[in-house]
Amino acid sequence: MDFIENLKQRASKSKKRIVLPEGNEERNLRAADQILAEGFADIILLTSEEELKANVAKFGLKNIDKAIVIDPMKHAKKQAYIELLVKLREKKGMTVEKATVLVQDPLYLGALMIKAGDADGEVSGAIHATGDVLRPALQLIKTKPGISTVSGAFLMFNEKKEYGENGVMVFADCAVTPEPTAQQLAEIAVATGETARILGGFEPKIAMLSFSTKGSASHDVVDKVIEATKLAKELAPELQIDGELQADAAIVPTVGALKAPGSEIAGKANVLVFPNLEVGNIAYKLVQRLAGSEALGPILQGIACPVNDLSRGCSVSDIVKMVAITANQAIG
C-alpha cells in the first residue's frame, strides 16, 4: 500500500467534510466523483443544483449524488454566515452590505463554513490564484494558537531509501514566506514537524539549514538560523531539532559525524527547514528534477484548520491526493 493509500485508509475512518469551492470546474468534479466512490471523505461542493445537474450529464459522473451541495447564491445558512462575517471583520470595516456580497464568493463561503464548524477543511486553487485562496482563510480562520506564520511544505519521495525516513523527507518553507524572521523560521520548523508526524507518520528529526555548520562560517543570515533553532526548541521542547547545519551534514551520516559530532540530528534529518523561500523553492525543484524525487505539495501549514492550495495546472489525481492530505490534517 503506497503513501497516499495509507492516508486514504486513515481518512476513511473519520470521514472529514472537505469543501471544494470550485464546484463547477471539471477537474474538481471528477476528483469529487472519485473521492465519493472511494469513500474516504465527505465532499461539499459549492455550486447550484442546476449547474451540477448539467455537469453530471456532461462529464458522465456516477457518484456526485453522495456530495453535499451548497448554492453560494441561496442556501439555508446564508444569513448566519453574513452575521458571522460581520462579527469577524467588523473592526476592519465589514458591513452587512459588503458581507452579503462576499458570502456569495465561494472562497469566502468555504472559509466561513470551516469557521462555523460546518466543514473540516478546504481544497481550492485550480482556477484561483494562491492569494485569492489564502486571503479569506487568513482573514476568517486565522492561524493556529502560538503560530503567526503560514508556510508551505513538500513531501519528497526518493528512491534512495538511506535518506530521510526510508526515502521520505519534508521540505519547508517552499511556497509562502519569502524572508522569514528568526521567529517565523522557528514557527515554520514547529509546523513542519507536525506535518511530518501527521502525514509522514514518523518522528521528525529537524535540520535548520544554512551554508554554515556549527560556526564554520560567520554571517548575519547564519545568526538568524542559530536564533531560529533556539526559538524553535523553546516553542516545542519535545522536538528533535538542530542547527545550523549544511545540507550534507544534515542528511549524510559520515559528513554529519565529521562536521557536527555529538548532534542527534546531523546525518539523520528527515525534515529540512530552509533559511528562506528562495532557497527552499529552488531546492525542492532541483531535487525533483535532477534526483527524480516525487514532490507532493505545497501543503499549507499554520492555518487553524486545513486549507490547501492547488496549482492551476493540477490534475484530477492531484486534487484527490490533496483532499486525502487535507482530511488527514483535519484529523490531526
**Which tens digit of pLDDT belongs to each residue from 263-276?**
999 999 999 999 99
3-state secondary structure of 283: helix
Query: Is the confidence at residue 178, as pLDDT, over 90?
Result: yes
In terms of Cα–Cα distance, which of 3, 70, 68, 7 is closest to 32? Answer: 68
- CA separation, residue 79 to residues 99, 101, 104, 274 (Å): 10, 12, 11, 44
pLDDT tens, 63-97? 999 999 999 999 999 999 999 999 999 999 999 99
pLDDT, one tens digit per residue, over 117-139 is: 999 999 999 999 988 999 999 99
Whether 26 has a pLDDT exceeding 80, the answer reads: yes
Whether the per-residue pLDDT at 288 is higher than 60: the answer is yes
Name beta bridge partners: 271. 170, 206
Closest CA to 39 of 71, 60, 10: 10
Cα dihedral 318, 321, 326, 329 sign: negative
Give the pLDDT confidence score for residue 332 in this predicted structure. 84
Sign of CA dihedral 226, 228, 232, 202: negative
DSSP 187-239: HHHHHHHHHIIIII-S--EEEEE-S-STTSS--HHHHHHHHHHHHHHHH-TTS
Beta strands in the chain (DSSP E): 17-20, 42-46, 68-70, 121-124, 151-157, 168-172, 205-209, 240-245, 271-273, 294-301, 307-309
Which pLDDT value is given to residue 1?
A: 45
Share of the chain above pLDDT 70, in %: 100
Task: Give the pLDDT band of residue 283 (cuts 50, 70, 90).
Answer: very high
Q: What is the pLDDT of residue 146?
A: 84
Which residue, chain included where needed, has cell 486545513?
306
More confident position, 146 or 316 = 316
Q: In sequence order, which residues have a C-beta less than 8 Å from that of residue 79 and are 6 or more positions away? A: none
Contact between residue 116 and residue 80 where contact means Cβ atoms under 8 Å apart: yes
The confidence score (pLDDT) of residue 311 equals 86
In this prediction, residues 184-211 reach a mean pLDDT of 96
pLDDT at 277: 96
% of residues, the chain, pLDDT over 90: 94
DSSP 8-state assignment for residue 73: T
- Taking the C-alpha atoms of residue 276 and residue 293, their distance in angstroms, rounded to an integer, is 21
pLDDT score, position 193: 97
- Tell me the three cell numbers of residue 17: 467534510
- Give the CA radius of gyration of the chain: 21
Q: Which amino acid is at 120?
A: D
What number is the average pLDDT over the span 97-123?
97
Asked if residues 110 and 139 have their Cβ atoms less than 8 Å apart, the reply is no
- pLDDT value of position 36: 98
